A and B are shown apart, each in its own frame.
Chain A
Amino acid sequence: MSEFSVIGRRLPKVNSWAHLTGQARYADDLFLPRMLYGRLLRSTRPHARIRRVDVSRALAHPGVVAVVTGADMPEKMGIMPSTQDETALAVDRVRYVGEPVAAVAALDEDTAFDALSLIQVDYEDLEPIFTIEEALEREDVKIHDEAKRANVFKEVHLSFGDLEGGFAAADHVRDDWFFFEGNTHAPIESHSAVASFGADDKLTLWTATQVPHYLHRELEKVLGLPRSRIRVIATPNGGAFGGKSDPFGHEFAAALLSMRTRRPVKITLDREEVFYAHRGRHPVKMRIRTGVKKDGEITAVHYQSWLDGGAYASYGIATTYYTGALLTVTYRIPAYKFDGVRVYTNKPPCGPKRGHGTTQPRYGFECQIDKIAEDLDLDPLEYRKSILQPANSRTVNDLRITSMGLGECLDSLQRATRYSERRGQLGRGKGIGLAGSAYISGAGLPIYWNEMPHSGAEIRIDRGGGVTVMCGTSEIGQGSDNMLASVAAEALGVMPADVHVVSGDTSLAPVDLGSYSSRVTFMAGNAVKDAAMKLRALLVAAAAEKLEVPVDRVLAAYGRLYDRADPAKFVTFADAAVLAESKHGTLVAAGSYKPPRGIGGSFKGAGVGPTPAYSYQAAVAEVTVDMDTGMVTVDKVTTAHDCGRALNPANVEGQVEGSAYMGYGEIIGEEQVFRGGLHKKPSLLDYKIPTSLDTPVLEALIVESVDEEGPFGAKEAGEGPLNPVIPAIANAVYDAIGVRFDETPITAEKILNALGKRDRRGEQKTRIGPDGLDAGKGDPKRALRRLTASTDARDRRRPVS
């Protein structure tokens, strides 16, 4: 029998019932008395100076109540305090098509929309920059005047161990270039915020955000309103995946419009706006040089990345470091050099998407590992097993490794898929591929430097035995509310369904830094466990006294505190609560969590990469390539994931399968691409996210390494499992047709190109991918002319009632 009564069981999520009956209240579902509807006017130019914004006609339009522009909120903001380069609405310059410029509040949404076309913005076009190469070269065009060299946002260089010695000792060196195309989150719920500024001069903002605490700080800065007068409530997010973890213009605009009108204001983005709000996966060019001995032992790795950041910083400084930080935690690397450059371009800002910054290098590296195995005539699975970074070790870049289940993941995949026997044996057009990966269970450092806990939780037990957990976490569909309820229930001996959860509310709940970097289960889980164990001690003592048994004989489960030696002797949880409250007063306890010291190095840049525990995962993909049409069908993806311990196996499997689905979409066709600054496919019809008919059979295998520091042994499950799926599919396509795809996505067109079937020349290729950085490509002036023509036409078409 399990030692747990809640942990490890497939119980329905506590918030399922609201989801399944239509009772869950997402931000756009809120309708408040006297509420106004807001819309944002967005830039039609990729790069331009704003000479003048004239809102007078819009303000005079019947039904319009207020209009605000960038000049009303000129304070710089952004998620990372050290790189704040945005304003809520553009002030004197726009840097991408879709950048918010002004906001209107009106009696209804139609009126707000109509009023947008009455705002006149006088733009002076500037030359736009659209590619990494142009951004690196063009000293004469500065997207941000602060950039020291051309349009470089951030440049980092880190070196560990004896790189030259490592390459000199190698028997074989591989040098490969890769390109990972940008893509976006596309949650089904678009961003939405409702602000209400009352007669008490207090602001409440309900918003679909992953980071209520960070947003709270930015609202204070931009609005000039003390944080003590602001309450942020993160509504249940209808999907987020990293796309709702920046402070956004519409959140500030709703707040300011509410302050100006003293009426509630709602702004909900439409689908096209969500594609421009973006903050998704960076396009990254990569060069990876890896030296190995004859047996495959790695002697040195030199990894370089060039990130296309789009117009603003977002999390870019962290993203840049993340492209280099986690390559070392899977396989032994004795010498490692990392060079990373992130540039500005005139496109929507890139930011964190599931796997933040680690997905692109992991794709390149795992494709390269596959090539090395082939070069050395090694089985790719056995090869990976032979070079694993050991548990309880430190990497060359000074990251602390604790539990490490990648070997078990590979073993369980081999058992489930018979990968090693089937590779190379499936016949032309059919293939099987493998890749491994790792991810963090929460960033080791907060976004702004401080000594406070990363996560706090408070638990209150009422006189009827009701348990209320309060924690600042944001429920984004990953199951954080259920995790909080489950951990508290296990510790206190009740069931999750008996627990009330209050989350994401800056006034009611202690701070949790947010639902990003897969930190919630580990950090908030530990915080809530800390609080629960304090209350448990009081309840157990009260029960022991009543039962007249020693404290260490009392166990708590299923709503009872009972004598281990004689389970028929018990007090109910509610009775124990009354006894404990009689003795100790009101039953409230707080708990907190902060990662331990010493989990990373002390060099500049060491802040990105450390985590209290790494999750590990590996995936096997099985594909069929249609040799006539070039269509790749992914038949099955099997993912094994080391989550430490599965607090709720059904939810872990859901995260693993959902990650596999999202990774599949990224490699098989999703791309956030632009023509002259205009998004080529800003709709769910054109930006094809996989439907049920596209999605492969997905299987999740849980590996439990039981991490000593995780809550009941748990680590993350929400992001890492995406990473191996992408290279596993690329490696499977190679197994099927003998073509290396060193760039994403793998489209039918690229397959036909490789097979020599795209044109009459019939030239076959064994590799699709970049050979280096391009010389500054394209003609931005021509692109701009084309864009101006199309947006002018659009302006003319817009109806005004």
Chain B
Amino acid sequence: MSTDTRPAAPAPVQPRGPVRVERRLPRLAPLGLYLAGVALGAGLSALTGSSLSSTVVYGVVLGTLAVFLASRLVEGRRKATDRLVTCLVTTAFGVAMVPLVSLVWTVLDNGLARFDATFFSNSMFRVVGEGGGAYHAILGTLVITALATVISVPIGLMTAIYLVEYATGRLKRAITFFVDVMTGIPSIVAGLFAFALFTLLFGNDVRLGVMGAVALSVLMIPVVVRSCEEVLKLVPNELREASFALGVPKWRTIVKVVLPTAIAGLGTGVTLAVARVVGETAPLLVTVGLITGTNLDPFDGRMATLPVFAYYQLTQPGTDTQAFLDRAWTAALVLIILVMALNVVARLISRFLAPKTGH
């Protein structure tokens, strides 16, 4: 808390009126000063052998400095600090945008080369060079993700119902806490868990699609629980009471009043949970492996999945390196599209399934 504000403030411009008016920079001046600083930075960068990164760095630093100094001279220390923080915070946001934009651009740039019909209709069966595609891997990802969803949603939803509608005391606290902790399990550890489980059951060197689904479920269940729990908590208690007062048993109240009221949020939560696991690579690497042909039976041997496919195309290219790299980038592009599509679907669900109010 600044105590020395009054002496530090420049003389009021208008001595009359109840509100003290201080000298301020004109409204667009900070932006102008900032841009001037950026331009100066670009010039400096050009002198020292220009590159994009040095231009940006010099520009941002000089722009911030220009705004700070101008404000310090005209508006005083407090306002200058405020403007400095505004610059810093905005810069932080800008910095975070750089990798996102760069990443999306890179994947688009490299991935569009093989974004063709062959990629979606052919597998890698007996392909050693050009051609081939990820048909088998895309379908494998869909099968395994669907299986993981089938395992996770009932368990996750029922647990959320238990936490919100029934649980009290120590068990509730234990489950809440460990579900939170479980969200932090590294995906590779989930994979090792599924591997260890199935090795004990079926002996060494077993690789099955269902192992991958189990591993993904370990990652998915806590996400489903948390999002469903949040949504169920939002259902007003009054609706439960209204139903109880009509002589409806608790379980019917939950199934027929609480869940339908929350359906939009539940759908969104589950979709986002699917989006979270659909791109998981590490657990599938150690449990499902990879094959070149199409295997859609999760209970019979190795399967191909899109993330693992992308990984091996990149890291173990065959004779025609460029063909492998192209397929890897296209697989990455498809993966991003898949995840983004799920995110969009989640938002659509929450928009269109929300209870109608009739207003």
Question: A and B, one complex?
Answer: no
